[in-house]
Structure 1
């Protein structure tokens, strides 16, 4: 089965992280991608340009670089990248994460054995500095019905681990021009369009999260963004009025909590096994 990998990178990313991410999805994979689409989301640093050039020379036509004149955010970057993906299956990869060597092989096997499946993710492990020291796991429901129920309150798929059908994403309207919750929004629209989801119940991606990031998305700005996400789900008909008011109230208040408390809440939502 042929497939593409979609990544985007912006100016604040580190060249060595991008290099490690690319090694994990190409050099180390048991099943290598047939195409890697890398979206440059606005102007980058010289170090990033140099690293991208090294990989272009190494991979040739396998690596397709898409340049955006200005930083447009992950929604627009991924939407443009989706359009450039040549194959029917697309795997998402963040430019500072690490995919385990069996990730693509296992996801492709799931699609081969389940032709009606539209999206497949997995558990992820979070690390701060050392990729071999996982401090928490982000576990998600395995089967479709459980995923739908879970989606009513939280993102039911670990987005950096997703592989999905390009046709299904386009049917749902592709990624939108959003800088917050663009992955959750796409997931909900895919579910509403009839897409079938599955999560492999094991860690296939290591996420460079950092404990400091657990409490970073707090404050009024993110509280308002959270409210808008829930309002959009209500407008789409994914949430009823009770679910909307419950989610909007709880999530708005949580975003306004002191960072120390917010960090503890995020930690409680992750497995330490």
Structure 2
């Protein structure tokens, strides 16, 4: 196999009892059977006790792919996404690790394109992509979630908003583990991690091509109202603590987030379409 297309990379997933079983099946198939370039390792972390049906899905997947490729780790109780990802990250055999959520769909050329990019750009530590948002019930296209592409654009963007579509990301594990991995926040742990990595000089890039489909829709915006604001405030405080943003930028971010989260859902829909604030 050409070195630039080498499948020496891991896929990291976390599964929770509330995850939709049908979406899980599709997500799992999309990171292996549907891929042009298949990973050599898939690390699945069960974040607490799963349903019998979920266990059957991941066990059948492991059997079909091979337990030499699929490793399943089960946490005794729910510890949260950040903890479970850090747990799995330490068990990834390869330095290149691709993230995947349990309800999204990796498109067939995702890993081929990202591995080629990372091999061709050895100074890049974190690489995301554009994603298409789709309706969870109908799978119909909603919109494309675009993100900044260059290091400079990503750094500036990250002071206000998340610059990476998390389930689309591939990164170099060793540098992230050295910096402590995902900060242990209940929500927005990926955003906090990107800020930490950027502050410590890691190099980011996004590929301006859609390589993943993400389930989204009105229900997501309804859930991400005022109750979500407290999690965002923690991240904003974290950004200030590590000197990623100034006090002035903290005030700006808080005002922006508070206005968005406290607005009625129909206003949030409009703002979301205009600015991709979440």
**How would you bin the TM-score normalised by the shorter chain?**
over 0.9
Q: TM-score, normalised by structure 2?
A: 0.93
Question: 1:101: how far off?
Answer: 0.5
Map of 2:73 onto structure 1: 66
Matches within 5 A, 1:1-273: 1=6, 2-59=8-65, 60-129=67-136, 133-219=140-226, 221-270=227-276
The 2-side partners of 1:132 and 1:262 are apart by 22
SS of the aligned residue for 1:206 comes to strand
The 2-side partners of 1:214 and 1:189 are apart by 27
The 1-side partners of 2:270 and 2:139 are apart by 23
The 2-side partners of 1:106 and 1:3 are apart by 13
Question: 1:225: how far off?
Answer: 1.9
Question: 1:132: how far off?
Answer: 5.4
Contact conserved, 1:131 with 1:206, CA < 8 A, in 2? Answer: no
Q: String of CA shifts for 1:103-128, please: whole Å, max 9, x gaps.
A: 00000111111111101110000111
Contact conserved, 1:15 with 1:48, CA < 8 A, in 2? Answer: yes
Q: TM-score, normalised by structure 1?
A: 0.95
Contact conserved, 1:172 with 1:186, CA < 8 A, in 2? Answer: no
The 2-side partners of 1:118 and 1:209 are apart by 27
Contact conserved, 1:143 with 1:199, CA < 8 A, in 2? Answer: yes
Question: 1:236: how far off?
Answer: 0.5
The 2-side partners of 1:159 and 1:14 are apart by 19
Aligned residues: 270
RMSD: 1.5
